[in-house]
Amino acid sequence: MTASCKIIASFFFCVLLLASCTKDDGKSVKPEDQLVKYLTGDAGNRVWRIREIYQNRVQTQLTANQLRYTKTYTQTAGQSYTGIFTDADGYSGKWTLTSVAQLVEVITNNPAGDIKTEWIINKLDANAMDVETTNNGTTTRVVYYGF
């Protein structure tokens, strides 16, 4: 065997050895599970506060009430992608993560009846949630920070 063949053979052996050492510990997290963890926190209950609001891509000045506004998401025990929420305006209801791109909320304590909002998830991570919805031709985007 020539020296170049030995080098090539050694290279392929090393690549094969490294590829076989890939560890799968069975702890890979599904994207939906990770999003629920971000939404509800490690304890299954997380509070969010508004950072920014946009109407049709134009940032609006936050009011005093919006600056104080909070929304709390809680995961329902035994349920993977559903839970309840409450907000500082006194509304409460149910939420469902229907996909990695959509969060559906239904306010269930409105005297006039349930109100369903389908939020498109632009971003959801450990620090921020950026969601938007379109209703009657107006797109509202809300950016929250978690604490």
Domain borders along the chain are: 26-146
Amino acid at 32: E
What pLDDT does 89 receive? 97
Contact 106, 94 (CB under 8 A): yes
For residue 12, what pLDDT is reported? 44
pLDDT, average across residues 65-69: 97
Is 0.75 surpassed by the pTM of this model?
A: yes
d(C-alpha 103, C-alpha 129), whole Å: 11
Cross-strand partners of 92? 86
Does the pLDDT value for residue 22 go beyond 60? no
Query: Could you tell me the fold of the domain covering 26-146?
Result: Lipocalin (2.40.128)
